[in-house]
Amino acid sequence: MRHGALPAGLLVAGLLMSACGPSPTTTAANAPQEGSNPYAAYESLKGEKRTAKLLADAREEGGVLDLYTSNTDIQDLVDGFKKAHPDIKVRAFRANSETVLQRTLQENQAGKPQNDVIDTNDLELRALDSQHLLRAYTGPSQEGLKPEAKGLGNWTAERFNAFVAGWNTREIPKGEQPKDFTGFADPKWKGKLSVEVGDWDWYAAMHTYLTEKMGMSEAAADALFKKVVANVKVAKGHTVQGEMLSAGQFGLALSVYSHTVDKAARKGAPVAWRPAVEPVILRPNGIGLMATPRHPAAALLWTDYVLGAGQKEIAKSLRIPAARHVPGYNEPVPAGTETFTLSKTGETDTKKWDAAYDALLRGAPQAD
């Protein structure tokens, strides 16, 4: 979840270089010593034996899990976990992804980590992983995940957000939306489009798609974006953007979440995003075990659940689950649709992308 561009001092890159957090070349004060692994005793356990051991140890730890998250649908997972393990209390701190990152870095730099697990966006998880604050999950639930949910570092994707072009069906007649992103540069879209003020990560992925997959030069991609932005109104917050789209305050949102459109359509709003305008940008949102948890058994119990049985709750919230198969669930992105996910090695200079996106939108009218 994002609520707009960060001030310069609170950028992810800035956080890693500021007094609020360690520099990229400095290990956080509370980073684990090499060889220490609070989860090692459970690695060989599977099935009921694993669950029973984790549950018994979690009770001895105090019966508590401390979770930091930016997931707006976290209560669904908490409720499902409580049904499975009523003896374990989940204390969840929820805020936007930047705040979750800042709080975690500050606490670890001070040597006083307070959370056992973190659930947030991919770039924030990459930042924490670069500081050696996460420990890889090796539990049995990873076996049921999609390949793209694994191998990301010391964190695992639990769901995917899909950035899509969503439109108001009363404002945009069926079939008038372009087939791909480049079509939005046409002046006929002036005043009919919207982007979200904090979606620099969408911008970074789409720009990278244009250069890496479409073979555009940097200059050509920049020129295309300038033409597209000449047609947009800027919204602040995805929830507000979705509400405005449903109300017809603009015809089409370029960077709306698929689940935002699907939830609104389920309630009767005149919105849609299929057939998809290509590419659909997929962003993994993940779960990370903290390297120095206060409640390691509870942390593993939670992670086993979220990456296993909890995938059903993620699917119910119209998110895209990380599991290969969820009973009764159909993938929302139509088969054959061009998708793009920023690779593990893709450029993640968040300060650069945020500044570029901010400059791109400067002077664009606000949606109201």
For residue 21, being part of any structural domain is answered with: yes
State which H helix or E strand residue 315 sits in. Answer: helix 311-316
For residue 1, being part of any structural domain is answered with: no
Q: Which two tokens stand for residue 237?
A: 């917050």
For residue 3, being part of any structural domain is answered with: no
The secondary structure of residue 212, as a DSSP letter, is I
For residue 44, being part of any structural domain is answered with: yes
For residue 367, being part of any structural domain is answered with: no
CATH of the domain at 216: 3.40.190.10
Decide: 303 and 116 in contact? Cβ < 8 Å.
Answer: no
Task: Check whether residue 298 and residue 180 sit in a common domain.
Answer: no
For residue 115, being part of any structural domain is answered with: yes
Q: How far is CA 354 from the centre of its chain?
A: 16
Q: Which two tokens stand for residue 184?
A: 């939005």
Task: Check whether residue 221 and residue 148 sit in a common domain.
Answer: no
pLDDT of residue 25: 32
Task: Check whether residue 83 and residue 192 sit in a common domain.
Answer: no
pLDDT of residue 347: 65
pLDDT of residue 206: 95
Q: Is the dihedral of CA 44, 50, 54, 57 positive or negative?
A: negative
Nearest alpha carbon to residue 124 among 70, 205, 162, 75: 70
Task: Check whether residue 198 and residue 347 sit in a common domain.
Answer: yes
Q: Measure the CA angle with vertex 365, ends 9 and 227; round to 5°.
A: 95
Task: Check whether residue 288 and residue 278 sit in a common domain.
Answer: no
Domain that holds residue 123: 8-160+284-321
* Alpha carbon distance 264, 58 (integer Å): 39
Task: Check whether residue 18 and residue 156 sit in a common domain.
Answer: yes
* Alpha carbon distance 207, 192 (integer Å): 21
Residues shown for the chain: 368
Task: Check whether residue 235 and residue 344 sit in a common domain.
Answer: yes
The strand pair at 134-135 and 280-290 is best described as antiparallel
Task: Check whether residue 116 and residue 169 sit in a common domain.
Answer: no
pLDDT of residue 349: 75
pLDDT of residue 344: 64
Full pLDDT tens readout for the chain, 368 residues: 444 333 323 333 333 333 333 333 334 444 444 458 999 999 999 999 999 999 999 999 999 999 999 998 999 999 999 999 999 999 999 998 889 999 999 999 999 999 999 999 988 999 999 999 999 999 999 999 999 899 899 999 999 999 999 999 999 988 888 999 999 999 999 999 999 998 988 999 999 999 999 999 999 999 999 999 999 999 998 889 999 999 999 999 999 999 999 999 999 999 999 999 999 999 999 999 999 999 999 999 999 999 999 999 999 988 899 999 999 999 999 999 999 987 665 666 778 888 999 999 999 999 97
Q: Across 200-351, where does the E strand assignment appear?
A: 232-235, 252-257, 271-272, 280-290, 320-321, 339-340
- Phi and psi of 63, rounded to 5°? 70, 35
For residue 170, being part of any structural domain is answered with: yes
- Phi and psi of 155, rounded to 5°? -155, 165
Greatest alpha-carbon span in the chain: 64
Task: Check whether residue 351 and residue 220 sit in a common domain.
Answer: yes
When divided into structural domains, the chain yields a total of 2
- Three-state DSSP class for 149? helix
State which H helix or E strand residue 94 sits in. Answer: strand 89-94
Decide: 182 and 213 in contact? Cβ < 8 Å.
Answer: no
Task: Check whether residue 290 and residue 234 sit in a common domain.
Answer: no
Place of tokens 């606000």: 366
Task: Check whether residue 128 and residue 51 sit in a common domain.
Answer: yes
For residue 328, being part of any structural domain is answered with: no
Q: Residue ranges of the alpha helices (H) in 147-294? A: 200-208, 218-229, 238-247, 258-266
Task: Check whether residue 295 and residue 147 sit in a common domain.
Answer: yes
Q: How far is CA 193 from the centre of its chain?
A: 23
